[in-house]
């Protein structure tokens, strides 16, 4: 069989053009750890809310300007940075009773679906991994905000997201029973992400 190299070349060129076109509307934003945080809240002794946060939020958000459903989110959180403003409690949270950070130093989220709920509101479904256990979680997202240019010439935007998880699903099971029949720490954990992101400058 005689190959038509000219036709093969045209076909390959067309395929490359189509591939570029498919990605033409995608902008990759880098999460700014210095201006981003992941907060959580749990009910303590069945009567009050204790809040904490993680520092060191990193990752990327690839936004498709033409089709938001083709966007992706990839976030890594430093589990060792847990901060509830109480050193002894933070030490306990880092222990095998809770996050076991010595063996699982990172919490990750990787999106599997992005949906537009309404203008400025998204629903992002993805795989959340805590303590080596991965479960599907839905983030309710406000944003992304209209981009602005910072004083150093970088384009920046921001999103806020909320979710609720059951810590037992991730093997975080430590608790104590109260005489009243309640427990020390609730299973439900409310999560809030405040993320600022920027478009990295072109490589020199």
Q: DSSP letter for 34, please.
A: G
CB within 8 A of 135, min separation 6: which ones? 127, 128, 165, 169, 170
Q: Which residue has the higher pLDDT, 47 or 102?
A: 102
The pTM of this model reads 0.84
Coil, helix or strand for 194? strand
Q: Which residues of 50-85 are buried (b: 16+ CB within 10 A; e: fewer)?
A: bebbbebbebebbbbeeeeeebbbebbbbbbbbebe
Kindly report, residue by residue over 106-152, the tens digit of the pLDDT: 999 999 999 999 999 999 999 999 999 999 999 999 999 999 999 99
Q: How many CB atoms lie within 10 A of CB 14?
A: 10
The domain locations on the chain are 26-198
Q: Has residue 21 got a pLDDT over 70?
A: no
- pLDDT bucket at 203, cuts 50 / 70 / 90: confident
Q: Which residue has the higher pLDDT, 16 or 180?
A: 180
Please name the fold of domain 26-198.
Lipocalin (2.40.128)
pLDDT of 24:
55
- pLDDT bucket at 7, cuts 50 / 70 / 90: very low
């Amino acid at each position: 069989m005689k190959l038509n190299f000219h036709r093969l070349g045209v076909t390959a060129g067309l395929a490359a053009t189509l591939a570029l076109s498919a990605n033409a509307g995608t902008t990759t934003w880098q999460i700014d750890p210095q201006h981003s945080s992941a907060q959580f809240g749990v009910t303590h002794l069945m009567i009050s809310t204790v809040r904490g946060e993680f520092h060191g939020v990193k990752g990327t958000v690839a936004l498709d300007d033409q089709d938001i459903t083709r966007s992706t989110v990839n976030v890594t959180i430093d589990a060792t940075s847990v901060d509830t403003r109480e050193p002894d409690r933070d030490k306990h949270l880092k222990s095998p009773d809770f996050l076991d950070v010595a063996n699982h130093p990172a919490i990750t989220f990787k999106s599997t679906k992005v949906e537009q709920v309404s203008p400025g509101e998204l629903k992002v479904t993805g795989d959340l991994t805590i303590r080596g256990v991965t479960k599907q979680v839905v983030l309710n997202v406000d944003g992304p905000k209209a981009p602005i240019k910072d004083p150093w010439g970088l384009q920046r935007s921001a999103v806020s997201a909320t979710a609720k998880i059951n810590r037992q699903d991730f093997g975080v099971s430590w608790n104590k029973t109260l005489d009243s029949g309640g427990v020390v720490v609730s299973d439900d954990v409310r999560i809030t992400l405040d993320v600022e992101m920027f478009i990295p400058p072109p490589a020199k």
